[in-house]
């Protein structure tokens, strides 16, 4: 009968095992134990430490031993309970002889240190220093860094799982398992970061318990059992040293196991096989080591036997590995030669490679940033940026093709739009960008830089100074995030060019599934697809979201039978989307603080344009208009208001086109786009009078 079938108090036995173990450990601190039971428990503690060590060595990934933080707590509690129990017996029965606290403590006190308690104290302190300063501190630091990096990479890993699920590479069950593993991994490293404090506290407690046992034992021997100082010191010191060693050695083993677990990377092999493969897998390194040791062994005054013996062993091992590798190669069947295909007689259309809409090319040192197999997070961040842009603007950015380019510098990258380079940059090795958001404290030393998405100034700093920069108020951007932000800046800036006929047709197909008659009323009945595409591109160029496709196409369906002029269609659609446009610009404010167009400036523009539009505007007028817009924009932003120019419908499209190149932040809206429940207040006036 298994543990699952045995019932105790209405619960399965395997569910009661851990609670009972914890209760027994706590009881050991209170109830006295016979020496025989103490020997058994000390032996069990050593065996448990060895089991934990072996399990950690055979684990292929940290999550295979996810219960380790709890095991670490329980083993620490067990050692402390044994310390309390042994302290009680040492102080009560230590005067009777070296076996007063059991045979295990006696053997550690006599055999391991030869009955010399001074040597025992030194060995105990060395073990505590190794455990506390070296192993525990290093394992804790690894767990802390791993927990931080794991938490930072969780969104990217979750997005990668979603992308694989959407692409059909995995099913829903496997995706659910991967998501659970990502969460468990973060929990594991976070728990290990805290659990390392148990071992550190255990080492400190071991030193205190040693001093208490020694001082308390000597006092008990002197005043209660009338022993001499030398005799009391000899008896109680050996017992104390034996007690300290019998608990510190398992503690050292457990700490080593903790370091192995947190420093392990996920692999398909256990640690022993990886160790032998990666360290002793190359005979050449063994030959070189053998030659160096052989030369050292021939130098007069060196231990010839030790050096030459190990040199012979390494040389023999290298020769055996070399023969084994040659035998494996000899047993591997050779591939049959492939007949060379004749060269094509002529060039065809199929020989022309297609041009990618968007492509990211990186130098070879930046490949880990964009390769998911190497933990690169850039692609996940780019996918998240595309998702946000689609939700915001209603436009799905085409997939970005990523490839390496050996012609680039190792740390360089470039972004192409339809085969033309539109952005490029270089990532300094081992550095991150600290961006100044406007409220930083002090300055940082480094090379000036800039955030590719927002244009805000930044400083390139060494990768280890992130905490210093964040404390000063800077926002630290990693190289992978910088590449993703550069890609996002490109597709936001060139969004109209990404809306091709294919994307427009996909948008129409999506809308037709819910409103089939609406699409048919617009195209092809009244408007060709190219006209619809142009209207949508103009909206995107003016940062107007096309997500409300129903309102957009209902407006086109109502207006198209009367006019097919693109400017008229655009202004009609903008008026229908006015509430959405105004809300994006003023973030829900009831009072719209805007830039107004001076009456004289408006009359001057109308008089010069006539019926031909902005093509008749003279160069002095264009220059004066841009200068006036620059002054008004500076005044408006200086007052803390949105950079929005309000004008009549007849001038809105013209001013938007004329000012977009030199003043890209300035949005131009018409009176017809302002909802009736909004109040308009002209805060700044755009006037060309001063520059006319």
Question: Which tens digits make up the pLDDT trace of 135-152?
Answer: 777 776 776 666 666 666
Cβ burial, residue 312 (10 Å; 0-12/13-18/19+): middle
pTM here is: 0.50
Question: What mean pLDDT value characterizes the chain?
Answer: 79
User: Which of left, alpha, beta for 9 (phi over 0: left; psi -120 to 50: alpha)?
Assistant: left
Least confident of 25-39, 358-372, 567-581, 583-597: 25-39
Q: Note the pLDDT of residue 3.
A: 47
Handedness of CA 382, 387, 393, 396 (dihedral sign): positive
| CATH H-level superfamily of 497-686 | FHIPEP family, domain 3 (1.10.8.540)
Question: Which tens digits make up the pLDDT trace of 586-601?
Answer: 888 889 999 999 888 8
Written as one string, the DSSP assignment of 397-461 is: PPPPEEEE-TTS-TTEEEEEETTEEEEEEE--TTEEEEE--S---S---SEEEE-TTT--EEEEE
CA gap 314, 323 in Å, rounded: 14
Is pLDDT at 643 greater than 90 in this prediction?
yes
| CATH H-level superfamily of 352-494 | FHIPEP family, domain 1 (3.40.30.60)
Q: 160 or 342, which is more confident? A: 160
CA gap 526, 560 in Å, rounded: 6
For the chain, what percent of residues have pLDDT higher than 70? 80
Which secondary-structure segment (H or E) carries 624? helix 619-638
Looking up tokens 């290990």 gives 192
- The CA–CA distances, whole Å, from 441 to 461, 470, 478 equal 16, 10, 21
Question: Which tens digits make up the pLDDT trace of 243-302?
Answer: 777 777 777 777 777 777 777 654 445 555 665 666 666 777 777 877 887 887 788 777
Give the ranges where 501-597 is alpha helix by DSSP (H).
501-514, 516-522, 529-541, 549-559, 566-576, 578-586
Q: Provide the pLDDT confidence category of residue 692 given band limits of 50, 70 and 90.
A: very low
Q: Provide the pLDDT confidence category of residue 337 given band limits of 50, 70 and 90.
A: low
Is pLDDT at 633 greater than 70 in this prediction?
yes
CA gap 94, 153 in Å, rounded: 56
Question: Cβ contacts of residue 349 below 8 Å, gap of 6+?
Answer: none
Cβ burial, residue 598 (10 Å; 0-12/13-18/19+): middle
Q: Provide the pLDDT confidence category of residue 2 given band limits of 50, 70 and 90.
A: very low
Q: Note the pLDDT of residue 595.
A: 92
Question: Which tens digits make up the pLDDT trace of 386-438?
Answer: 899 888 898 888 888 888 888 888 889 999 998 899 999 899 888 999 998 87
Least confident of 24-38, 391-405, 444-458: 24-38
């Amino acid at each position: 009968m298994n543990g699952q079938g045995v019932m105790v108090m209405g619960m399965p036995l395997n569910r009661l095992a851990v609670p009972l173990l914890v209760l027994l450990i706590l009881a050991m601190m209170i109830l006295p134990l016979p020496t025989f039971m103490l020997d058994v428990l000390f032996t069990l503690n050593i065996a448990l430490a060895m089991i934990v060590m072996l399990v950690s060595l055979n684990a292929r990934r940290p999550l295979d031993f996810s219960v380790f933080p709890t095991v670490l707590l329980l083993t620490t509690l067990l050692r402390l309970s044994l310390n309390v129990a042994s302290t009680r017996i040492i102080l009560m029965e230590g005067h009777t002889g070296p076996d007063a606290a059991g045979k295990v403590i006696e053997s550690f006190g006599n055999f391991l240190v030869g009955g010399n308690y001074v040597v025992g104290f030194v060995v105990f302190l060395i073990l505590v220093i190794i455990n506390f300063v070296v192993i525990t501190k290093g394992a804790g630091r690894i767990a802390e860094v791993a927990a931080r990096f794991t938490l930072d990479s969780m969104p990217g890993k979750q997005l990668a799982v979603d992308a694989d699920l959407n692409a059909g590479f995995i099913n829903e069950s496997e995706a659910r398992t991967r998501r659970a593993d990502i969460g468990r991994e973060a929990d594991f490293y976070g728990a290990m970061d805290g659990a390392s404090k148990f071992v550190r506290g255990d080492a400190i407690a071991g030193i205190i318990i040693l001093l208490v046992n020694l001082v308390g034992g000597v006092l008990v021997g002197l005043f209660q059992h009338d022993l001499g100082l030398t005799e009391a010191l000899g008896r109680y010191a050996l017992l104390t040293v034996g007690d300290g060693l019998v608990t510190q050695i398992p503690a050292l083993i457990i700490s080593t196991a903790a370091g192995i677990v947190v420093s392990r990377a996920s692999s398909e092999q256990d640690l022993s096989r990886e160790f032998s493969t990666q360290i002793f897998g190359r005979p050449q390194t063994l030959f070189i080591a053998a030659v160096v040791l052989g030369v050292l062994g021939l130098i007069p005054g060196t231990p010839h036997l030790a050096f030459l013996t190990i040199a012979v062993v390494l040389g023999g091992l290298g020769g055996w590995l070399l023969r084994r590798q040659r035998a494996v190669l000899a047993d591997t069947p050779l591939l049959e030669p492939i007949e060379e295909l004749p060269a094509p007689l002529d060039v065809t259309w199929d020989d022309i490679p297609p041009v990618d809409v968007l492509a990211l090319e990186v130098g070879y040192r930046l490949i880990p940033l964009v390769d998911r197999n190497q933990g690169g997070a850039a692609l996940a961040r780019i996918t998240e940026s595309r998702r946000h842009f689609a939700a915001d603007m209603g436009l799905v950015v085409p997939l970005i093709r990523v490839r390496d380019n050996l012609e680039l510098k190792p740390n360089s990258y470039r972004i192409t739009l339809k085969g033309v380079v539109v952005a490029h940059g270089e990532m300094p090795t081992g550095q991150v960008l600290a961006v100044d958001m406007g409220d930083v404290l002090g300055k940082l030393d480094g090379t000036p830089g800039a955030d590719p998405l927002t244009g805000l100034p930044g400083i390139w700093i060494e990768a280890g100074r992130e905490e210093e920069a964040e404390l000063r108020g800077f926002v630290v951007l990693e190289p992978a995030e910088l590449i993703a932000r550069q890609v996002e800046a490109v597709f936001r800036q060139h969004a109209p060019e990404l809306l091709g006929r294919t994307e427009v047709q996909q948008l129409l197909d999506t809308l037709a599934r819910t409103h089939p008659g609406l699409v048919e009323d617009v195209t092809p009945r009244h408007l060709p697809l190219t006209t619809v595409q142009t209207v949508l591109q103009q909206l995107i160029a003016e940062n107007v979201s096309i997500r409300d496709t129903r309102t957009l196409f209902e407006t086109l369906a109502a207006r198209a039978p009367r006019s097919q002029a693109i400017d008229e269609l655009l202004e009609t659609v903008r008026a229908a989307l006015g509430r959405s446009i105004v809300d994006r610009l003023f973030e829900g404010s009831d009072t719209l603080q805007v830039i107004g167009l001076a009456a004289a400036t408006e009359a001057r523009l109308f008089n010069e344009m006539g019926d031909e539009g902005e093509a008749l505007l003279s160069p002095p007028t264009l220059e004066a208009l841009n200068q006036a817009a620059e002054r008004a924009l500076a005044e408006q932003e200086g007052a803390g208001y949105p950079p929005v120019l309000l004008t009549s419908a007849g001038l809105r499209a013209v001013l938007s086109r004329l000012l977009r190149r030199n003043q890209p932040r300035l949005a131009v809206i018409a009176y017809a786009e302002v909802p009736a429940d909004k109040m308009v207040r002209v805060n700044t006036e755009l006037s060309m009078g001063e520059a006319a």
